[in-house]
Amino acid sequence: MAVVFEKPKSLTDAPLHYCPGCTHGIVHRLVAEAIDDLGIEGKTIGVAPVGCAVMAYDYFACDMVEAAHGRAPAVATGLKRSLPENIIFTYQGDGDLASIGMAETVHAATRNENITIIFINNAIYGMTGGQMAPTSLPGQVTQTSPYGRDVATAGFPIKVCELLSALDGPAYIERVAVNNVKHVNQARKAIKKAFQNQIDGKGFSLIEVVSSCPTNWGMTPAKALQWVEEKMIPYYPLGVYRDKSTQKKED
C-alpha cells in the first residue's frame, strides 16, 4: 500500500498533550518537517519554553533543553556558542518571549545570534489557564482582564516583529499564521527558511506564528480560526519584516 501520509522523523511517537483545535500541533509538525527536509535532525538541539509547549522536549526527536521561563534565547546562545556547527532553535510562546523574556529576545536579536526562534503568538497565557498576554488584543477578555484589556492601564499589545525589526541586528523576521491551508504553506516555507539561514550562517531568524487557543479563548476550534482571521491578523499583519538573507555578508 502506498504511504500517503507520514509523521516527520523529527517528531517522537509521544502523543501530544495539546487541547483539541490547538495549533501547536501544526507548528510542531512544520518545524519537524523543516528539520527533516534539511537533513539536520542529528545536529539539531531544541530549547523548550515554559508555557503550553513546555513538554516539547518529549515531542521533538532531536536533543532538547528545557529552559526557564523566557530564558530560551539565552540558553540557545550558550548552546550555539558552545556548538557553533550545530543547529539551535527555540520554541516559545508570547508570555515567554515577549513578556518575561523580552530582554533575552531583544539582546539575542541585536547580537544577531545565529539561532532560529519559533514564536507562537496566541494572545493568551494558555498553560496557566488564560491570563492576559503581552500580545492580548485591546478589549480582549481574559482571566486577568475580565473587563477586556484596558490599554489605559494594561498598555498596548506588543508587536514583536515590528519591534525587533527596529534593530540593526536580526537577519530574518517574518510573521505567519496557521489558520488556513494557504497560511500553513506560507508558514512552512518561512520556518524552513529560518533554519536554512542558520545553516548558511546568516544569523538571528524569528518566525512569529499567529496561532489560536480555542480552550482559553472560549471558542470552538473553527470559531477560533475565524477569530485569528478577523481580529488577530488585522492587528498583527502577516509578512516579512526583515530579510538580510538575500544580502551578502554583513555590511
Nearest CB to another protein, comparing residues 79 and 187: 79
Nearest CB to another protein, comparing residues 75 and 176: 75
The helix (run of H) or strand (run of E) holding residue 239 is strand 239-243
**129 in helix, strand or coil?**
coil
Exactly one of 22, 34, 52, 75 binds another protein (CB under 8 A); that residue is: 75
- 93-152 residues in contact with another protein (CB under 8 A) are 103-104, 106-107
Residue spans of alpha helices (H) in 13-121: 24-38, 56-59, 72-82, 94-95, 102-110
Nearest CB to another protein, comparing residues 108 and 224: 108
Exactly one of 26, 67, 184, 206 binds another protein (CB under 8 A); that residue is: 67
Per DSSP, the residues of 132-154 read: EPTTPPTT--BTTBTT---HHHH
- 11-40 residues in contact with another protein (CB under 8 A) are 12
DSSP symbol at 60: B
Min dist CB 54 to another protein, Å, is 6
Cα-Cα-Cα-Cα torsion 201, 10, 62, 96, nearest 10 degrees, comes to: 80
Exactly one of 38, 43, 226, 233 binds another protein (CB under 8 A); that residue is: 43
List Cα–Cα distances, 87 to 42, 62, 70, 103, 195, in angstroms. 9, 10, 20, 22, 8
Binding letters toward another protein, positions 77-96, x by CB under 8 A: xxxxxxx--x----------
Exactly one of 11, 24, 29, 60 binds another protein (CB under 8 A); that residue is: 60
Exactly one of 16, 38, 55, 233 binds another protein (CB under 8 A); that residue is: 55
Q: What CA–CA distance (Å, rounded) separates 66 from 79?
A: 12
Nearest 5 degrees, angle CA 26-CA 220-CA 15?
Answer: 40
Q: Which residues bind another protein (CB under 8 A)?
A: 12, 41-45, 47, 54-55, 57-58, 60-68, 71, 74-83, 86, 103-104, 106-107
